Structure 1
Amino acid sequence: MISKKNLTPLILSLIFFLMLGLSFAAVPLYDLFCRVTGFGGTTQVSKEAPKIVIDEPVRVRFDTNVQTDLAWNFKANKSLYDIKPGKVYKVEFEVENFGKEPSSGVASYNVSPSTFGQYFNKLGCFCFEKQTLKSGEKMSYILTFYLDPEMVNDPKTKNIDDITMSYTFFSSDYYKQSKVN
């Protein structure tokens, strides 16, 4: 039998380890929650397109940005599309390094309004992958996506007719080692 004197430290130790375990699980659980619900504009990743196309287009704007310490020019070849839910689209983005040295960046994105994130399905994307460009180099990247036709049945999204998909390239050169003379 455990005495009262030993019970309190045992309970506090158990609480400590439980909280420690939950702190490590928080990030993957939050990520899973966002991917399942589309919370915060998190888009979905899909392996195949739906079989239904809805003939009521939604206007989608592609906004492109570059972090200030990355000497890149980044733009969508076409920034405004009228998208039919269920139909697959490809958007081409051009990136150019106008700096004097090679540099690397990673693109992240968000969808506005955020309630629409769960209906924006990517079939292929360059985002979250490190891209390295030599000085003066230009590259093209493709986003392949569709809007889930189920959006017309959701009261939060059925009347939305204008969506912004915003991409930002961030420098991934934070981990450069300093040169030793």
Structure 2
Amino acid sequence: MARSNTRTGLIAAGAAVAMVGLAYASVPLYQLFCQVTGFGGTTMFASESDVPAKPLEQTISVRFDANVAPGLSWSFKPVKTHETVKIGERRLAFYRATNHSDKPITGTASYNVSPDTAGSFFVKIACFCFTEQTLQPGQTVDMPVTYFVDPAIADDPDGHRIDEITLSYTFFPVDTPTASGQKAVKTAQAKPAPNQG
């Protein structure tokens, strides 16, 4: 009887450990699934060498959206809210952020595209959202995103019906600036915002 109770206890403990491990693994596994499939409006990633050699003549509208989470004293907006692009054409867009506080603040951006089915066709080559961004007091920077719309969208049964894709970012505060955040601000400063005053 004691051996049976010990065995049952070990099985239960093993199951509990497995469930905790699965709970921790589920978030990165879900993120990986979204990145591979574009599920939930998650964008794809590529390198410069993946940009199609020749874009299609067909165009699509891209709209840019920006939001700031509570607790982050930044303003954040797209420099241009809309553009029409050739499918497969490499494009560069900018989002402008300003730190309105009297101290350095580090933020990180989450993103998605809509409609959700466009996620597997909207491809980022480079983006400020890949790293944390640190802005000094009163600092304004233009942060770049390089992208293209995969020509496969034109042949996809659902994709070819899409006439507008919205790229949306939300910046959230990061509690403690990291070394990567300090490095990232240099990347963001690669194109400083024009003098506003």
TM-score surpassing 0.5?
yes
Structure 2 match to 1:168: 170
8 Å CA contact retained: 2:98, 2:140? yes
Q: Aligned pairs, how many?
A: 174
CA distances 1:136-163 after superposition (whole Å, capped 9, x unpaired)? 2111211000011101122121111011
Structure 2 match to 1:36: 36
8 Å CA contact retained: 2:75, 2:100? yes
Shift of 1:13: 3.8
Give, as a single letter, the amino acid of the residue that structure 2 aligns with 1:29: L
TM-score by length of 1: 0.85
Picking from 134, 137, 140, the partner of 2:136 is: 134
TM-aligned CA distance change 1:112 to 1:22, over 3 Å: same
Structure 1 match to 2:74: 72
Q: Distance in 2 between matches of 1:168 and 1:14?
A: 39
Greater CA drift, 3-12 or 15-24? 3-12
Could you tell me which runs of 5 or more consecutive residues in structure 2 were left unpaired when the two chains were aligned: 178-197
Q: Distance in 1 between matches of 2:20 and 2:107?
A: 33
Task: Show the 5 A alignment for 1:24-173.
Answer: 24-47=24-47, 48-172=50-174
TM-score by length of 2: 0.79
Greater CA drift, 14-23 or 67-76? 14-23
Greater CA drift, 31-40 or 129-138? 129-138
Structure 2 match to 1:16: 16
Q: Secondary structure at the match of 2:148?
A: strand
TM-aligned CA distance change 1:14 to 1:141, over 3 Å: same
Q: Secondary structure at the match of 2:71?
A: coil
TM-aligned CA distance change 1:6 to 1:106, over 3 Å: closer
Give, as a single letter, the amino acid of the residue that structure 2 aligns with 1:98: H
Q: Distance in 2 between matches of 1:171 and 1:19?
A: 31
Deviating beyond 6 angstroms after TM superposition, the runs of 4 or more aligned structure 1 residues are: none
Superposition RMSD in Å: 2.1
Q: Distance in 1 between matches of 2:89 and 2:20?
A: 45
Q: Larger radius of gyration, structure 1 or 2?
A: 1
Shift of 1:60: 0.6
Higher helix proportion (structure 1 or 2): 2
Structure 2 match to 1:179: none
